[in-house]
């Protein structure tokens, strides 16, 4: 463990935005946690835990400790009807999906190519193509910053919601995620309700689902190594069914999904596209030309450019459809997480 003062964060966020942290520490073993927790240089500073940095936008320099989670290890147990995977938080998520498929333990293939590390998966309750992490999560292992103790949190206690969990609220500052338990049924059941997967029908296999998901994501989403981005920038809005029905009557081609009693989910990308915003740019920040849900850094963008662009997209969609988009990407200010309505008030 080598603490780095005044550390550059350009390589720790997939938006490739310039920013610095007062301190940066890479955590590679659980034994290092006690040293990080007790060091007087950091125990009064704000903290930010990063894995792949694929869902964060630094609005400015971070005046605290950035902890890069590089905990590794995968363990598998046979539970009869299920496989139980115990994956360390620093493992790459997509590589875990590939590992499961190669080992004959399917189930996660709808979540292929989602960027980031395992530890970020329960925070956002990551999801794609009709599947969310909550479907398979058994538990989340954590260490508490307050007393250093280990705590296993059952899936039922994680309060999973749409791109939401207890780790974005009460446990955001108090718990460090160190591993995730995933329970995969041996009796595989494909989820084919979204997009091009429906065409598979009876021909569906885990590998076929994986291949289509990967091909679709590669075609729609830019590679962060080529064009800085954080994937889907906005959440798909959940609105009252009455509003959704009115919009559907005005726009018959509008995608619409059930979202519980009296609610419906809209496609944020479709709403943005209908506003003619693909390719719209402020400075070097732009709405992606192929996928309206993605905001990109075309090279040399400033945080202010991306924030102004996000606000313009939000306001344009609200003016046309009466729907306010919320950003899925986490915004980080000097002291911690901030929100678009705060920084662009």
How far apart CA 223 and CA 14 sit, in angstroms, is 9
Question: Among 107, 36, 104, 29, which residue's Cα sits nearest to residue 70?
Answer: 29
- Order of strands across the sheet that contains 281-282: 228-232, 294-297, 285-287, 281-282
How far apart CA 177 and CA 345 sit, in angstroms, is 32
Tokens linked to 154 = 């059952």
Q: How many CA atoms lie within 13 A of 58 on its CB side?
A: 28
Q: Catalytic: which of 16, 54, 135, 163?
A: 163
How far apart CA 86 and CA 84 sit, in angstroms, is 7
Q: Catalytic: which of 47, 217, 328, 330?
A: 328
Residue 91 falls in the annotated catalytic set: no
SS3 breakdown of the chain: % helix, strand, coil, rounded to 5? Answer: 30, 30, 40
Q: Which residues lie closer than 8 Å to 65 by C-beta, 6 or more apart?
A: 21, 22, 23, 24, 25, 36, 42, 45, 46, 47, 48
Core vs surface per residue 165-174: b (16+ CB within 10 A) or e: bbbbeebbee
Beta bridge partner(s), residue 82: 185
Q: What is the DSSP letter of 161?
A: B
Residue 29 falls in the annotated catalytic set: no
Q: Catalytic: which of 16, 183, 232, 314?
A: 232
Residue 54 falls in the annotated catalytic set: no
Q: Is 285 left (phi over 0), alpha (psi -120 to 50) or beta?
A: beta
Q: Which residues carry out catalysis?
A: 163, 232, 328
């Amino acid at each position: 463990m080598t603490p780095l003062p005044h550390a550059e964060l350009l390589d720790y966020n997939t938006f490739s935005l310039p920013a610095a942290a007062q301190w940066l520490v890479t955590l590679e073993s659980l034994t290092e946690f006690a040293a990080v927790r007790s060091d007087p240089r950091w125990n009064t500073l704000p903290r930010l835990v990063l894995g792949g940095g694929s869902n964060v936008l630094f609005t400015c320099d971070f005046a605290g400790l950035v902890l890069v989670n590089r905990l590794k290890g995968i363990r598998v147990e046979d539970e009869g009807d299920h496989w139980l995977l115990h994956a360390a938080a620093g493992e790459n998520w997509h590589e875990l999906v590939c590992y499961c498929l190669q080992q004959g333990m399917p189930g996660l293939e709808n979540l292929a190519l989602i960027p980031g590390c395992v530890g970020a998966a329960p925070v956002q309750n990551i999801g794609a193509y009709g599947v969310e992490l909550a479907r398979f999560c058994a538990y989340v292992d954590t260490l508490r910053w307050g007393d250093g103790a280990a705590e296993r949190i059952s899936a039922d206690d994680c309060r999973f919601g749409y791109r939401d969990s207890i780790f974005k609220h009460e446990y955001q500052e108090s718990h460090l995620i160190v591993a995730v338990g995933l329970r995969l049924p041996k009796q595989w059941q494909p989820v084919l309700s979204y997009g091009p997967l429906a065409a598979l029908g009876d021909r569906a296999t885990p590998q076929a689902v994986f291949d289509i998901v990967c091909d679709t994501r590669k075609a729609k989403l830019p590679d962060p190594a080529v064009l800085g981005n954080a994937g889907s920038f906005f959440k798909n809005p959940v609105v009252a069914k009455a509003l959704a029905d009115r919009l559907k009557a005005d726009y018959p081609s509008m995608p619409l999904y059930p979202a519980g009693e009296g609610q419906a989910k809209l496609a944020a990308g479709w709403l943005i596209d209908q506003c003619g915003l693909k390719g719209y740019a402020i400075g070097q920040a732009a709405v992606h030309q192929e996928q309206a849900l993605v905001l990109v850094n075309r090279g040399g963008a400033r945080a202010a450019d991306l924030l102004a662009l996000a606000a313009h997209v939000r306001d344009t969609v609200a003016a046309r459809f009466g729907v306010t988009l919320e950003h899925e990407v986490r915004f980080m200010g000097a002291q911690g997480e901030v929100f678009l309505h705060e920084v662009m008030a």
